Structure 1
Amino acid sequence: MKLQNFIKELYKARIRLLALVSKKRAGDAAFRIFCTPIGKGNYALSPLLQSAVQLTLQFGQYRLKGYCWNEGAKQKLLIAHGFRSHTQRFEHLVPGLIEKGYEVVAFDAPAHGHSSGKQINAVDYTQLVAVLTREYGPFSAYIGHSFGGLAVALAVSELPQPAAVKMVLFAPAADTGGLATVFFKQMAIGDREIQRHFYNNVIRLSGKELSWFTIKRCLPALKSEILWIHDQEDPITPVKEALEIQELAPPNIRFIFTKGLGHSKIYRDATVLKKVIDFL
């Protein structure tokens, strides 16, 4: 059994045991697990990462590790990685972005890579994108993958002039409700009361329902030019979420659908990357 599967089984057992004592405690524990990446994803610094300006940022209780390339360029771009990922997985984008004339900024999110912490949620990640925009921006473009794509979309929708930037979204986690449903299935959480206590954690943290943290909800505020790239066979963020938004025919969003690249190869494919660079 793979280590990640073994840990998932331990988590499932913990939730079952807690439910015998208190369904609230089980729901609270389930939410913490939902926000906990299995495997922090530490990495050795590659030559490209070593060549960057090394950045650190105190974000609440977290000490975050970041990088900056081509410092001082007229245009700035922020890369936001996904859940259980880190900056190094996106370093292959940097040379092309520099050639395009961008200063490139990227940070490991809390509980990821070389940043501190054990958990992350959509509230914190969205706030982090907003803080990075204030501290290292303004950015004229953003690239976000999966959970990072959701955080970018939510944060940009709150900007005073969201139309002034471009966004590239690789397989964004467009519907957090859908992610929660998948999580409940994986953890065998069918009890509605446990699920209710799970959702109450979102309200406690943000004052908002989980449905607020969706790209569809903030579409009216997103005036940016957006390139949305999604694989038809993505097992993590189902393509149906992208198709539902495509049916709304937002004039500022261009969709590219691939087949066979899945959730992670999609941001490494040479053909896709050329389209990204051309868009930016």
Structure 2
Amino acid sequence: MRFTRTLLRVSLNSLSTVAPRLAGRGVFWLFRHPLTRMKVTPVEQRLLDAACHGSVSVRGKNVVTYAWGDGERPVLVLHGWQSRASHLAAFITALRERGYTPVTFDAPGHGASEGRAATLLDYREVIGRLSREHGPFEAIVAHSLGAAAAFLALRDGAARTGRLVAVSGLSDFDYVLDYFCTDLGLRPRLRAELRDRIERVLFPGEPEVWRRFDAADSPEEITARMLLIHDERDRYIRIEQSHKTAAAYGEQARLHVTSGLGHRRILGDPEVVKLTMEHVTAPADVTLRG
């Protein structure tokens, strides 16, 4: 993987000096496409086999949905980038044991769904469809990019809930761009080219996209009580992202910091699952306005 990043960095930076538009297209392609689909473990497969499978069409792509239970007390579960719904199996299992109805999906380009990529707008569209079928939700449990999608959906009115759990959550949409460019060691001109393509091609007609996709923007529009869980050594999404979200929502949000679990292993940690269930099952003290 390190060799691949080095090769990409040298190739793209060199190409940008002689063919900047071609290099820009290459960087944009890498940015928007997950490079792998996470495999299903035997435990996850048994969980998926027990689900009620459905599907919705989003921008011409078939998105696979899953639900467990009798439909009562629905909880929306959202996975992150280069992941899949079954990767949150520990949360889904714990919710089922407590009588909730977990509802989730594989985003386009992920898991069993069609397509090669997903955007936050794709997430929001699927969330809205599931909300109309199952909602309002007792809670939303989201990981990584899924957390950013949850904030967007709540602010836009695509979903309603009184409780939100954001694990390793993203706050600044700019962070995704900065991390991608820093990780590949891209020159400033390629970063500027990528930012421009994101605005023009990925989100055309979406004004102020960088502010609109910021989880900490307009905090008064979301009333759900929040539990933010983040590992202090998460190298993909730095803990400062959750600190920013927590600061924006004040007493409405509580931040729990873990150590040594990283970005993905945190999803299987028993203590993290326990804290999440305590938050989900706590008596609601807010109205379901978003």
| C-alpha spacing 1:161/1:87, structure 2 compared with 1 (3 Å) | closer
Is the Cα contact below 8 Å between 1:79 and 1:105 reproduced in 2?
A: yes
> CA 1:268–1:42 in structure 2 vs 1: closer, same or farther (change >3 Å)?
closer
What's the counterpart of residue 150 of structure 2?
152
Counterpart of 2:70?
A: 71
2:284 equivalent in structure 1:
none
Q: 1:38 aligns with which of 14, 35, 38?
A: 35
Are residues 236 and 274 of structure 1, via their aligned partners in 2, closer, same or farther at CA, if it must alter by over 3 Å? same
Aligned residues: 274
- Structure-2 residue corresponding to 1:237: 237
Question: TM-score normalized by structure 1?
Answer: 0.88
> For 1:1-280, what aligned pairs fall within 5 Å after superposition?
2=1, 5=2, 7-9=4-6, 11-12=8-9, 15-16=12-13, 18-43=15-40, 46-73=45-72, 75-159=73-157, 162=160, 164-192=161-189, 194-204=190-200, 205=203, 206-248=206-248, 250-280=250-280
Supply the AA of the counterpart residue of 2:156. E
CA distance in 2, matches of 1:161, 1:51: 25
AA aligned opposite 1:96: A
Q: For structure 1, which runs of at least 5 residues remain unmatched after alignment?
A: none
Superposed displacement of residue 8, structure 1: 3.9
**Secondary structure of the corresponding residue to residue 217 of structure 2:** helix
Contact 2:76/2:103 (8 A) holds in 1: yes
Larger CA deviation: 33-42 vs 104-113: 33-42
The two structures have a TM-score, normalised by structure 2, of 0.85
The answer to whether the 8 A contact 2:53-2:65 is kept is: yes
Post-superposition shift, 1:83?
Answer: 0.7
- 1:121 is displaced (CA, Å) by 2.4
What is the distance in 1 between the residues matched to 2:55 and 2:4?
Answer: 31
Q: Supply the distance in 2 between the matched residues of 1:215 and 1:248 (Cα, whole angstroms).
A: 9
How far 1:248 sits from its partner (Å)?
Answer: 4.3
SS in structure 1 at match of 2:75: strand
Percent identity over paired residues:
25
Q: CA deviation at 1:59?
A: 1.3
Maintained 8 Å contact 2:75/2:141: yes
Structure 2 counterpart SS, 1:217: coil
Distance 1:36 1:9, change over 3 A: farther
Shift of 1:183: 1.0
For 2:14 and 2:267, locate their aligned partners in 1 and report how far apart those are by CA, in whole Å.
40
Amino acid at match of 1:257: V
Q: What letter is aligned with 1:238?
A: R
Once residues 190 and 38 of structure 1 are traced to their aligned partners in structure 2, the CA distance between those partners, rounded to angstroms, is 22
CA contact under 8 A between 2:233 and 2:259: conserved in structure 1? yes
One-letter amino acid matched to 2:65:
G
Cα 1:85–1:246, aligned 2, differ >3 Å: closer, same or farther?
same
Q: How far apart are 1:29 and its partner, in Å?
A: 2.9
**CA shift digits 1:109-164 (9 cap, x unpaired):** 111111111122233223332333234433221111001111111111222885x4
- Alignment partners' CA distance in 2, 1:89 and 1:126: 20
Q: Greater shift after overlay, 91-100 or 113-122?
A: 91-100
Return the alpha-carbon distance in structure 2 between the equivalents of residues 59 and 65 of structure 1: 11
- In the alignment, the residues of structure 1 paired with residue 157 and residue 22 of structure 2 have an alpha-carbon distance, to the nearest angstrom, of 37
Structure 1 residue identity aligned to 2:76: L
Question: Which runs of 5 or more structure 2 residues have no equivalent in the other structure?
Answer: 281-290
- CA distance in structure 1 between the aligned counterparts of 2:193 and 2:140, rounded to whole angstroms: 34
Give SS of 1:216's match: coil
Q: Which deviates further from its counterpart, 142-151 or 244-253?
A: 244-253
AA in 2 matched with 1:168? V
